[in-house]
Structure 1
Amino acid sequence: MAFSCTPRGFSCLSKISVLFIRPETRRYTRSLHRNPLNILTSEEARKSSRKPSLVYHDSISDAANKQVQQTTHKNIRVEHTSLKITKYEQVDDSTVSTKNPRSALSSHLSSNPKKTAITSTTKKVPKSGRMTVYSNGEELEVDIVAEKLVAERTLSSLIQNVKSTKARQASGKILLEGERLISDAMCAGVHAEAIFFSNIKLLTTLPLKSHTSTKLYQVNQAKIQLWSDLITSPGIMGVFDVSNLQNSSFNEDIPLTIICDNVRDPGNMGTLIRCAAAAGCKMLVTTPDCVDVWDSKVLRAASGAHFRTKLSLNVDWDLIAGNFVTQDDTVLLADSCVQEISTTSHLVDGKNTLGSQLSWLEREHSAKAKSVEILVNGNALLRDSSYLDEKNLRIYKNLPLPHCAYDKLNLDAASITLVIGGETHGLSSAAHKLAHDHGGLKVFIPLANEVNSLNAGVAMGILVYEVRRLFLQKKKTTSETQKT
């Protein structure tokens, strides 16, 4: 028996499968599935059409007509008087052809006046140009580059100069992520080369008024997440130039210099910088063996303290002795290995007998090791090559030093230099030589319950605030004495 399928005016063949249907035709095809198909006999199919239509022939009952079906399969053109188009504008039946179902359906969709009206009224947002944003509660007109290709290429090219330690040292640029870090850097006067953001609302907390030369790029959130070190990126990052970083907005409360020696944990380094800024220290110095202070983990641990204290980074030991520590300074070594509480209080005036003798011997034998280097800008640097002699440095590490608990210090010095070592490698031999040269001593924190050591950041917090308390107390006593 032969039958024909006539869904809304289309006579379809079972051997013809519509493989490619555009997304805009899905709604039309779904409506066909909602209405069941009428299965007609060959006689009923001929009566329902003005022209004889091609019908399906059963291979068993009409095997003789199989050749006719194959010849007419190439050109199929069926017209129906019962074709009614309700959703779309009615077209002439002669234009409907089942030879190419994709073109037949697209002809109906193209004649939809509603879709044409929607497309014509859609407004395109400008990709780049001058826009008005709110910055710290004020309206400000800024130039924003929102072209996807340009913004993403700029982000990719600048990221290459800040992702590794070697690249940061060569270019002098760092990457800051998050509104707080970027705002702190801009408020401190650090030049922002470019800022990339996903939402314009992220610019409201930034002091853009004082950074008019900063270029702004709007980038997709997924692209920012690709370069982010965080699990979920805040959606804003900036590239800053710290080659000529000037920390002029911090207050020096106490004459205390912190030297970080072999501190290689990013979390500890960030905590040390944060503590130094909070206590109002004079300066924080790092040696070449320390972790990069501009590492993303250090930046997050410091929470913007990089821009609130004076930093001297990657300073060799032969420069530290003559340029960052004066002869009047007292050097304190934070050492967790000493647990014996001293019975007498050591005066922290920098001049115990053993330290003075070793310092005299060092000056006599290493006078030739000291030199003066004149820089291009006219500044002079003092170098002491004896701090680079590993053979002699081992001797100083084994020499004994006076020691006392942190709460038994008697402060009688104009300024103090505190050396903090890493938890794994501890203090270097050069740090011990520095303490011997300046008549210093070891300071420890008593521990209980068989605890071997404290976290470097925790230990520094205890020592620094004890020294701060002593300095402020001394200052108060001096002021009261002067009044009387």
Structure 2
Amino acid sequence: MKYIESVNNPKVKQWKKLLTKKERDKSGTFIVEGFHLVEEALKQGEQVLEIIVSDKVGLPPRWDAGSTPVTSVTEEISTSLSETEAPQGIYAVCRQSNQEVQDAKTMLLIDAVQDPGNLGTMIRTADAAGIDAVVVGRGSVDIYNSKVLRSAQGSHFHLPIIRGDLHEWIDKLQDKNIPIYGTALEGASAYTDISSGASFALIVGNEGNGVAKDLLSSTTANLYIPIFGKSESLNVAVATGILLYYLKK
């Protein structure tokens, strides 16, 4: 096990750069923080490039890191890598997924969702609902943003999550005769009026503006969730959960 004690070490500087989208995109890697996320990453070991652990913590005995390099660092270095209020002292540098989505029968398409907590929760919900893949369109927060990773709770390692052009994906889905459901308030049907089959795609959109109109014009049908109380709307992540579970039933 290597040990690093200088905050000026080149590897430390590189790890800290991974807290920026620019460096994540450039290197094709990202960093996860905390025992749960590192453990989930290790279960999909081919993505893990390196484990970083504070000399005050150590690896849990039950973990099998295999041949993955492990570097021990001072608590000062460990804290400098953290973006949480209560650092756990353990991190993993991971390779971004390049999974191809070919035979997916159920998909979640996300249009310009900018809140990292919402995006992470939607990814986690899609994972829990057994959705085959998630496509995140332009204008959305980075899928490897640290808050997205924490909110998704390891789902990045469970199913394909890709960045893509939603118009192109709609074309592909239409070619396969997969029904595409948008979410809208006008010109839409109550979601309970739809009987879904084994295959479908759901498009959900931006917290303030919803799904772009040009995307909605290409769907099979657009859906809304009735509001029975006085709230004006549902949180996009909550709405996504309701719709995915209904369509997947």
Q: Same fold (TM over 0.5)?
A: yes
In the TM superposition, 1:261-410 aligns within 5 A as 261-313=111-163, 315-335=164-184, 337-338=185-186, 401=187, 403-410=188-195
Counterparts in 2 of 1:151 and 1:189: CA distance versus 1, 3 Å: farther
Q: Secondary structure at the match of 1:207?
A: coil
Residue 163 (1) aligns with residue 19 (2) = yes
What is the number of equivalent residue pairs in this alignment? 247
Counterparts in 2 of 1:330 and 1:228: CA distance versus 1, 3 Å: same
Distance in 2 of aligned mates of 1:325 and 1:223: 50
In the TM superposition, 1:69-84 aligns within 5 A as none
**How far does residue 324 in structure 1 lie from its aligned partner after superposition?**
4.4
Distance in 2 of aligned mates of 1:259 and 1:245: 16
**How far does residue 169 in structure 1 lie from its aligned partner after superposition?**
1.1
**How far does residue 151 in structure 1 lie from its aligned partner after superposition?**
9.1
**How far does residue 434 in structure 1 lie from its aligned partner after superposition?**
2.0
Aligned position for 2:79: 225
User: 1:201-250, CA deviations, whole angstroms, 9 ceiling, x for partnerless residues?
Assistant: 334343212xx0x2221111122112210112101112111154579xxx
More relative contact order in 1 or in 2 (CA 8 Å, sep 6+)? Answer: 2
The counterpart of 2:212, out of the listed 416, 428, 431, is 428
TM-score (norm: length of structure 1):
0.48
Aligned position for 1:442: 222
Counterparts in 2 of 1:188 and 1:424: CA distance versus 1, 3 Å: same
Higher percent of residues as helix: 1
Aligned position for 1:72: none
Question: Which amino acid in the other structure matches residue 176 of structure 1?
Answer: V
Asked whether the 8 Å contact 1:331–1:419 carries over to 2, the reply is yes
Counterparts in 2 of 1:447 and 1:238: CA distance versus 1, 3 Å: same
Distance in 2 of aligned mates of 1:424 and 1:192: 36
**How far does residue 448 in structure 1 lie from its aligned partner after superposition?**
2.1
Gaps spanning 5+ residues in structure 2: where? none
Distance in 1 of aligned mates of 2:97 and 2:126: 22
Once the two structures are overlaid, the 10-residue window that deviates more, 198-207 or 295-304, is 198-207
Residue 452 (1) aligns with residue 232 (2) = yes
Distance in 2 of aligned mates of 1:463 and 1:269: 15
Task: Quote the RMSD (CA, aligned, Å).
Answer: 2.3
Distance in 1 of aligned mates of 2:9 and 2:65: 22
TM-score (norm: length of structure 2):
0.89
Gaps spanning 5+ residues in structure 1: where? 1-143, 339-400, 470-484
Question: Which amino acid in the other structure matches residue 418 of structure 1?
Answer: L
Counterparts in 2 of 1:274 and 1:304: CA distance versus 1, 3 Å: same
Distance in 2 of aligned mates of 1:205 and 1:277: 25
Distance in 2 of aligned mates of 1:246 and 1:236: 30
Distance in 1 of aligned mates of 2:62 and 2:96: 21
Percent pairwise identity: 27
Question: Which amino acid in the other structure matches residue 434 of structure 1?
Answer: S
